Amino acid sequence: MHESVQKLIHIEELVKSKKADLNKLEASKIIAVSKTFTLDKIMPLINHGHYDYGENKVQEAIDKWSQIKTEKPELKLHLVGKLQTNKVKFAIKLFDFIHSVDNKKLAKKIYDEQLNQNKKVKIFLQVNIGNEEQKSGVLKNNLIDLHNYCKDLKLDVVGLMCIPPFDSDPNPFFQELNDLNKKLNLEELSMGMSSDYLKAVENHSTYLRIGSAIFGERS
């Protein structure tokens, strides 16, 4: 069995065990964040039957995934990095989920492009949960306004996403995002990465974005 498949199975077992301990019923899907890794490194996971993958950059994803997604329509591709408005038409064509919507201009561009392509993607609103100047994400004070704007556009907003401050305990930030998600009555939560995914599970995350713990460190 390929090493990355072994690592994925181990993570799935840890998540399952954590849920059993906490009596949590919601499923947590693992997005294998495959950015910078070539398709030959990803194929063992695809052949194992894992279908959710995350990419940071639209152009890299086009080069890597365009052909295999037509061959394997069951694959789900998640854009987990920042999306620039000039890349929206390419992102809508290829991706099934966009985790990084954080402003009205981007939301409107997605709306227009979905009409053009007659395709809807599932959207997470990225929240700057730690109010960090260098980070993307809508500020918490502006979240309800952005959410209402997206609802008016009839975008398929399924949940919230965050990246907690790097040097802090992620738990309070995950708790806060979960509370915000409940207030907006959203079903999904995108939070938790290789270093903190079990804490995200404790706080009801339904999508875990895990890269290095599956594929190894990036060069």
Task: Please say if the pLDDT value at position 219 is more than 80.
Answer: no
What pLDDT score was predicted for residue 142?
98
Q: 143-152 and 104-117 are packed helices; what angle lies between their axes, rounded to 10 degrees?
A: 20
Residue 195 host element (H or E):
none
Query: Taking all residues of the chain, what is their mean pLDDT, rounded to a whole number?
Result: 96
CATH code of residue 177:
3.20.20.10
Q: Where are the beta strands (DSSP E) in the chain?
A: 29-33, 52-55, 76-79, 97-101, 122-126, 156-161, 188-190, 207-210
Is the pTM value of this prediction over 0.95? yes
- Confidence label for 153 from pLDDT (cuts 50, 70 and 90): very high
Chain segment 5-25, per-residue pLDDT in tens: 999 999 999 999 999 888 877
**Into how many domains does the chain fold?**
1
Domain coverage including residue 164: 3-215
86-95 residue pLDDT tens:
999 999 999 9
- Residue 26: pLDDT band by 50, 70, 90 thresholds? confident
Long-range contacts formed by 40-46: CB under 8 A, 24+ apart: 41/4, 41/215, 44/2, 44/4, 44/5, 45/2, 45/4, 45/5, 45/8, 45/214, 46/72, 46/75
